[in-house]
């Protein structure tokens, strides 16, 4: 933890910005560079920054869920994306899509998005698990 007022003030501004940017990167991954992995890394950065500015205990507090639980949830999401294809009678991990029309343009929603949410959660959980335990060791 760094006791710096400049960092703390900046963190307040950057925290939300980084989270929004991570969601943007996550969604952008649909057709362009981005996706769950890089989005998850940026998402974890926001909490890591918070941990550096205010201490890991505070950061854990606003994260609500434990990093281990996040990893578990992520794996569950990834598995569910495959199980959906099984329920539809196709082999594991076959992409299943719905394409509703929203406001004149077609929205591509499918199981790969659920998989990517899983990746996002695993990456956030893993990164924060490492960073928190390193910070707490001091």
Contact map string, positions 81 to 120, toward another protein, x by CB under 8 A: -xx-xx--xxxxxxx-------------------------
Q: Specify the residue, 16 or 95, whose C-beta has the smaller distance to another protein.
A: 95
- Which 3-state string (H, E, C) describes 23-55? HHHHHHCCCCCCCHHHHHHHHHHHHHHHHHHHC
Figure out which of the listed residues 76, 109, 110, 135 binds another protein, where binding follows CB under 8 A: 76
Q: Specify the residue, 6 or 64, whose C-beta has the smaller distance to another protein.
A: 64
| Closest distance to another protein from the beta carbon of 100 (Å) | 23
- Which 3-state string (H, E, C) describes 99-125? CCEECCEECCEEHHHHHHHHHHHHHHH
What are the structure tokens assigned to 106, written together? 């077609």
Distance from the first to the final alpha carbon of the chain: 9
Q: Specify the residue, 49 or 131, whose C-beta has the smaller distance to another protein.
A: 131
Q: Is 106 exposed, middle or buried (0-12, 13-18, 19+ CB in 10 A)?
A: exposed
Q: Specify the residue, 42 or 122, whose C-beta has the smaller distance to another protein.
A: 122
Residue 79 found at the interface with another protein (CB under 8 A): yes
- Taking the C-alpha atoms of residue 18 and residue 34, their distance in angstroms, rounded to an integer, is 14
Residue 66 found at the interface with another protein (CB under 8 A): yes
Residue 72 found at the interface with another protein (CB under 8 A): yes
Applying CB under 8 A, which residues contact another protein? 66, 68-69, 71-73, 75-76, 79, 82-83, 85-86, 89-95
């Amino acid at each position: 933890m760094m006791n710096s007022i400049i960092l703390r003030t900046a963190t307040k501004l950057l925290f939300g910005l980084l989270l929004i940017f991570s969601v943007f990167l996550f969604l952008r991954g649909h057709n362009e560079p981005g996706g769950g992995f890089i989005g998850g890394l940026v998402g974890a950065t926001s909490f890591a920054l918070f941990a550096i500015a205010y201490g890991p205990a505070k950061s854990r507090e606003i994260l609500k869920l434990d990093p281990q639980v996040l990893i578990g949830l992520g794996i569950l999401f990834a598995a569910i994306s495959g199980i959906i294809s099984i329920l539809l009678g196709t082999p594991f991990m076959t992409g299943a899509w719905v394409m509703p029309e929203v406001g004149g343009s077609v929205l591509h929603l499918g199981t790969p998005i659920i998989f990517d949410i899983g990746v996002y959660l695993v990456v956030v959980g893993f990164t924060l698990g490492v960073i928190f335990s390193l910070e707490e060791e001091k």
